[in-house]
Amino acid sequence: MTLLEAKPLAPAQPPSPGRLVDLFEYGLDAPICLTWELTYACNLSCVHCLSSSGRRDPRELSTDECKAVIDELERMQVFYVNIGGGEPTVRPDFWELVDYATAHKVGVKFSTNGIKITPEVARRLAASDYVDVQISLDGATAEVNDHVRGPGSYATAMRAMQNLADAGFTGFKISVVCTRQNIPQLDDFKAIADRLNAQLRLTRLRPSGRGADVWDELHPTAAQQRELYDWLVANGDNVLTGDSFFHLSAYGAALPGLNLCGAGRVVCLIDPIGDVYACPFAIHEEFLAGNVRSEGGFKKVWRDSELFTRLRKPQSGGACSSCPFFSTCKGGCMAAKFFTGLPLDGPDPECVRGFGEELLSQRDAASSIPKPDGDHSHRTERAQRKSTGPIALTLSVRGVERPPVSACAEDPLAGFSPAGPTHGANCSC
Amino acid sequence: MDIERAWDVHPQVSLRPEPFGAMLYHFGTRKLSFLKDRTLLSIVETLAVSPSVHAACKTVGVSDEDLPRFTAALEILERSAMLIERAS
Ligand code: SF4
Ligand code: SF4
């Protein structure tokens, strides 16, 4: 990194060879993890929704506009998109767009709460190589799940997953946002996934969208973060994380994944009205790079926008740069810092060394905390959430096998060989 | 991997050039791989018009001395099904 710091104004021409992650920091010709939220409309009102979804935005991209975006993704050779929302399947043209994308060599993984996954749809999905499905489930029991996702949502998700399993769709994803209530259920989630021949995917709760309102209540405690890290190390490659938890790498060995904040470098979001943000968890004008409806379309925004160019320059680690864990933790998640009102070049609010918590307690009035842009929440409130009462937390320290930390971090083939394959469609971070 | 035989990029694999080399994506396994070396990329791109892996390496100018390193790298790609032996 000294090389980069010496020449901060060098054009984004990566030195070669180098660690892959260092090369990625310069950005790519096309994103690896492109999330496309097709609609803000949703049948549910999850309390932690990262996009504050509920009502459809009248300015939503039309079917033809969506197809034009897909054409452009094909030209840019974007391998696949992560389609989400809102609930994307409530768009009347949803299946038409999925078919259009796959016919144009753009693979699709879509996230759904399961509402439209009937046995018939499940059979159709099982027949396609180019479509992957991810069902959201935030509790291994109805009690824990519905507390966050709303009444009946557990039953809907379980039904959808059973339909997929019955149709022979193996390896679909069960996507869990880790919260204070469900961390004690990690083994139960794994058991559900194993039973259904599905793959478990754990991601981080971020204070984005409505998540900002419930973050204090739902985000895992420090002890739970440790428990989660140990669990992830013990379960290794069998569990996907979308590279969500690299801030936990400071506990020991780095977790599998790229271990960097990919915002604007390998990650971005196209929202329902065509706005392009640096990351799905950063819906705020600070992180708005442009719109696909503008001249030059998505490609121009991705390659030339002022914001993305800035994000691809070497970033200062600020207070974190002297931390021994900086090379893997990188100061954590930009969105998590932003929406908790912390400086972007300092520690993550969930810094495992406790520096984030310290800073949070020193913040002045809540007025300094930025509010997410664009609230599409349903205007009618969901029925009051009953307090589930104290939920027993298992804080047992389990002895887990950790991979030995290699004395030599450099692979003998570094800078020359192909990196080992990574799960492509697992990235949301 | 028998480098005297012909190999191809798997038909379900898409290859995209990038500033650092290239990225490969396998639509069947949904896995990504990266080529961080331009010579390796040239070899992979030359496979389709070569009668063997060895010939492809020669075409792009790999010396005998370097051959084992590149073969090892190609084997990593083979193990993740990015490359497939051409049916004779
Ligand atoms: S001080 Fe910064 S780099 Fe170190 S563990 Fe905390 S967030 Fe990560
Ligand atoms: S670390 Fe945070 S801001 Fe960066 S890409 Fe991941 S979710 Fe987005």
What local confidence, expressed as pLDDT, does residue A395 receive?
Answer: 34
Ranges A2-11, A159-168, A231-240: which has the least confidence: A2-11
What are the tens digits of pLDDT across the range A342-354? Answer: 999 999 999 999 9
A47-56, A164-173, A405-414: segment of lowest average pLDDT: A405-414
CB contact under 8 A, B32 and A32: yes
B72/A413 Cβ within 8 A? yes
Q: How many residues can be counted in chain B?
A: 88
CB contact A103 to B (< 8 Å): no
Distance between CA atoms of residues A58 and A138, nearest Å: 29
Q: How much is the average pLDDT of A251-280?
A: 90
pLDDT at A404: 26
Residue nearest to atom 7 of ligand 2 (CA): A429
What parts of chain B have a pLDDT lower than 70?
Answer: none
Report how far apart the first and last C-alpha atoms of chain B are (Å, whole number).
15
**Greatest pairwise CA separation for chain B in angstroms:** 35
Cβ of A267 less than 6 Å from ligand 2:
yes
The closest CB to that of A16, out of B17, B20, B32, belongs to B20
CB atoms near residue A360 (< 10 Å): 14
The fraction of chain B above a pLDDT of 90, given in percent, is 74
Q: What is the ipTM of this complex?
A: 0.83
Give the separation between CA A249 and CA B10, rounded to whole angstroms. Answer: 35
> DSSP for A356-422?
HHHHHHH---GGGSPPPS-----SSPPPPPPP---------------PPPPS--S-TTTTTSPEEEE
Query: How many percent of chain A have pLDDT more than 90?
Result: 60
Query: Cα separation of A218 and A180, whole Å?
Result: 5
Higher pLDDT, A426 or A372: A372
**A352 touches ligand 1 (CB under 6 Å):** yes
Q: Which residue has the higher pLDDT, B77 or A18?
A: B77
- Per the prediction, chain A carries an average pLDDT of 83
Nearest to B27 among A29, A107, A422 (CB): A107
Query: Would the CB atoms of B25 and A80 count as touching at under 8 Å?
Result: yes
Cβ(A388)–Cβ(A181) below 8 Å: yes
Q: Give yes or no for a contact between A160 and A133, defined as CB atoms under 8 angstroms apart.
A: no
Strand partners, A372: none
A35-45 residue pLDDT tens = 999 999 888 88
Q: Which of A315, A323, A313 is nearest to A345 (CA)?
A: A315
Predicted TM-score (pTM) of the model is 0.84
The lowest-confidence range among A182-196, A230-244, A374-388, B69-83 is: A374-388
Sheet with strand A107-112: strands edge to edge? A199-204, A173-178, A131-136, A107-112, A80-85, A33-39, A267-270, A275-277, A288-291
pLDDT band for A424, please (50, 70, 90 cuts).
very low
Please tell me the residue having the least CA distance from ligand 1 atom 8. A331
Specify the pLDDT at position A43: 86
Kindly tell me if the per-residue pLDDT of A255 is higher than 80.
yes
* Nearest-angstrom CA–CA distance, A90 and A93: 8
Pick from B14, B31, B36: CB nearest A105:
B14
Closest partner residue to A424 among B32, B76, B77, by Cβ? B32
* Mean pLDDT, residues A408-412 taken together: 26
* Residue of chain B whose Cα is closest to the Cα of A129: B28
Cβ contact A80–B19 (<8 Å): no
Q: Report the pLDDT value the prediction gives residue A367, as an integer from 0 to 100.
A: 53
Q: What local confidence, expressed as pLDDT, does residue A129 receive? A: 83
Can you tell me the mean pLDDT for A9-27?
A: 53
Largest Cα separation within chain A, whole Å, is 59
Residue A429 has pLDDT above 60, yes or no: no
What is the DSSP track for A159-198?
Answer: HHHHHHHHTT--S-EEEEEE-TTTGGGHHHHHHHHHHTT-
Highest mean predicted confidence (pLDDT) among A56-70, A364-378, A400-414: A56-70
Confidence of residue A386 (pLDDT cuts 50, 70, 90): low
Q: Note the pLDDT of residue A28.
A: 87
Residue A280 CA, closest ligand 2 atom number? 8
pLDDT score, position A189: 97
Which tokens hold the place of A276? 């392009």
Q: What is the pLDDT of residue A187?
A: 97
Which neighbouring-strand residues pair with B26?
B13, B31
Of residues A13 and A127, more confidence is placed in A127
Task: Please write the tens of the pLDDT for every residue from A312-332.
Answer: 988 778 889 899 999 889 899
Q: Which residues contact A140 (CB under 8 A, 6 or more apart)?
A: A182, A185, A188, A189, A191, A192
- The stretch A415-427 carries a mean pLDDT of 41
Nearest CA in chain B to A132: B30
Confidence of residue A365 (pLDDT cuts 50, 70, 90): low
Q: Is the minimum distance from the CB of A280 to ligand 2 under 6 angstroms?
A: no
Which residue among A247, A350, A360 has the greatest number of ligand 1 atoms within 8 angstroms of its CB, and so is best to mutate?
Answer: A247
pLDDT confidence of residue A315: 78
- The total number of residues shown for chain A amounts to 429
For ligand 1, atom 6, which residue shows the shortest CA distance? A351
pLDDT at residue A314, as a whole number: 80
Residue-wise pLDDT for A91-111, tens only, equals 999 999 999 999 999 999 999
Ligand 1 atom at shortest distance from the alpha carbon of A326: 3
Higher-confidence residue of A306 and A261: namely A306
Whether residue A224 is predicted with pLDDT greater than 80 in this model: the reply is: yes
Residues A62-85: tens digit of each pLDDT: 999 999 999 999 999 999 999 998
Q: How confident is the model at residue A401 (pLDDT cuts 50, 70, 90)?
A: very low
Contact assignment for B36 to A30 by CB distance below 8 Å: no
User: What is the mean predicted confidence (pLDDT) over A129-146?
Assistant: 95
**β-sheet with B21-26: strand ranges across:** A419-423, B31-35, B21-26, B13-18
**Residue-level pLDDT at A25:** 75
